């Protein structure tokens, strides 16, 4: 999958983590080179030669040597530990005042002015993103504005999951009953691959999500339309789509919501037509959407979505449902 790598960092947090990876790698290379050089030198210099039966001088307790091979590892460990501990504290501090702390008492440098709080809840096997300050519930795609600190509060509804966007930040566990947090920023617009990185059931490996970083103006439009969908955007555009909405209301609304109509049991559908993948991993096209609705279990074992066969949704109804879903957009 595209940019599912921590080795191509695209933001301050991932860069910090990458520099720690590099530092440990350089230290390891340094140690390996020295150890192997001495090893090969000793193998050649002190090997048994034909006719030479003398036993080399036996030494014990060379103070200088003992001192050198104790001190060098201590220095290397310090070199590794200092930036690691410092960065750990930097990453642990979201910069957002904790509840009950008077903001005025905070050091001005410590408080971050511009931030956005998102609650990311892991479910078997999909991601829910709530924006408590904006009144938004979104599924699978985490929309964020560029150049803004994103503070993610991690929760889980069933088992332990783990939140990871390799090129932006990672990773931290979503644990039922406990709220962990992390922060990251995306300086550049783009789509960043995210993944659950804690074995959470049979379809753990398909529990993917996307971070969609857009400029702050676009984000404002997205947020406004997600919180209160513009009638013109949610109204089905043609006759077929109107029928599709009826199919949706008869079959899907018990688990999926469009705007504030429907249930938050499954992923929110308000901007479904803007997704690039279905169910986190299937390429977005009508055939895949059709196959997914007909038999989700065979594609993503263990997920909660029921199958809809032709007795429940006929092929004609399916066509109109897909047209309606494709139309669900909040941007443009």
* Closest separation in Å from C-beta 267 to Cu ion: 14
Give the separation between CA 129 and CA 105, rounded to whole angstroms.
31
- Subset of 279-318 contacting Cu ion (CB under 5 A): none
Give the separation between CA 23 and CA 78, rounded to whole angstroms.
12
Task: Give whichever of 127 and 219 is closer to Cu ion, judged by the CB atom.
Answer: 127
Task: Give whichever of 173 and 246 is closer to Cu ion, judged by the CB atom.
Answer: 173
* Closest separation in Å from C-beta 293 to Cu ion: 23
Backbone φ/ψ region at 5: left (φ over 0), alpha (ψ -120 to 50), beta: beta
* Closest separation in Å from C-beta 118 to Cu ion: 17
Q: What are the Cα distances from residue 230, in Å, to 151, 180, 222, 234?
A: 27, 34, 11, 6
Look at strands 161-165 and 190-196 and give their pairing: antiparallel
The size of the interface with Cu ion (CB under 5 A), counted in residues, is 4
Matching residue, tokens 């014990």:
60
Matching residue, tokens 């933001």:
11
Locate 170 and state its tokens. 């990672």
User: First and final CA of the chain: distance in angstroms?
Assistant: 27
Q: 9 φ, ψ to 5°?
A: -65, 140
Q: Which residues contact 297 (CB under 8 A, 6 or more apart)?
A: 303, 307
- Subset of 201-240 contacting Cu ion (CB under 5 A): 207
* Closest separation in Å from C-beta 122 to Cu ion: 5
* Closest separation in Å from C-beta 309 to Cu ion: 28
Task: Give whichever of 302 and 306 is closer to Cu ion, judged by the CB atom.
Answer: 302
Give the separation between CA 139 and CA 252, rounded to whole angstroms.
15
Task: Give whichever of 275 and 300 is closer to Cu ion, judged by the CB atom.
Answer: 300
Binding mask 66-105 for Cu ion (x = CB under 5 A): ----------------------------------------
Task: Give whichever of 149 and 161 is closer to Cu ion, judged by the CB atom.
Answer: 161
Task: Give whichever of 225 and 303 is closer to Cu ion, judged by the CB atom.
Answer: 303
- Subset of 147-206 contacting Cu ion (CB under 5 A): 161, 196, 200
* Closest separation in Å from C-beta 66 to Cu ion: 50
Residue numbers at the binding site for Cu ion (CB under 5 A): 161, 196, 200, 207
């Amino acid at each position: 999958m595209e940019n599912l790598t921590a080795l191509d960092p695209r933001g301050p947090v991932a860069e910090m983590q990458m520099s720690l990876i590099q530092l440990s790698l350089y230290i390891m290379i340094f140690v390996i080179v020295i150890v192997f050089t001495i090893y090969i030198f000793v193998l050649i210099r002190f090997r048994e030669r034909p006719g030479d039966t003398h036993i080399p001088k036996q030494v014990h307790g060379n103070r200088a040597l003992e001192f050198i091979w104790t001190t060098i590892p201590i220095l290397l460990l310090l070199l590794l530990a200092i930036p690691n501990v410092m960065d750990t504290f930097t990453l642990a501090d979201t910069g957002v005042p904790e509840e009950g702390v008077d903001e005025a008492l905070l050091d001005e440098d410590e408080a971050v002015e511009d931030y956005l709080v998102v609650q990311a809840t892991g479910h078997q096997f999909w991601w829910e993103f709530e924006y408590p300050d904006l009144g938004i519930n979104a599924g699978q795609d985490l929309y964020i504005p560029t150049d803004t600190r994103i503070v993610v509060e991690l929760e889980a509804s069933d088992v332990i999951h783990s939140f990871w966007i390799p090129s932006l930040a990672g990773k931290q566990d979503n644990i039922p009953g406990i709220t962990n947090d992390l922060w990251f920023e995306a300086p550049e617009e783009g789509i960043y691959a995210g993944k659950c990185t804690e074995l959470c059931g049979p379809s753990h490996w398909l529990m993917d999500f996307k971070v969609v970083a857009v400029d702050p103006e676009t984000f404002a439009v997205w947020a406004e339309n997600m919180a209160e969908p513009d009638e013109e955007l949610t109204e089905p555009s043609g006759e077929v789509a109107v029928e599709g909405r009826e199919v949706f209301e008869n079959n899907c609304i018990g688990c999926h919501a469009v705007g504030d109509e429907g249930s938050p049991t499954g992923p929110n559908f308000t901007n479904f037509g803007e997704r690039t993948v279905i169910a986190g991993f299937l390429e977005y096209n009508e055939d895949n959407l059709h196959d997914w609705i007909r038999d989700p279990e065979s594609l993503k074992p263990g997920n909660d979505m029921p199958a809809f066969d032709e007795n429940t949704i006929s092929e004609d109804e399916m066509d109109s449902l897909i047209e309606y879903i494709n139309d669900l957009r909040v941007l443009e």
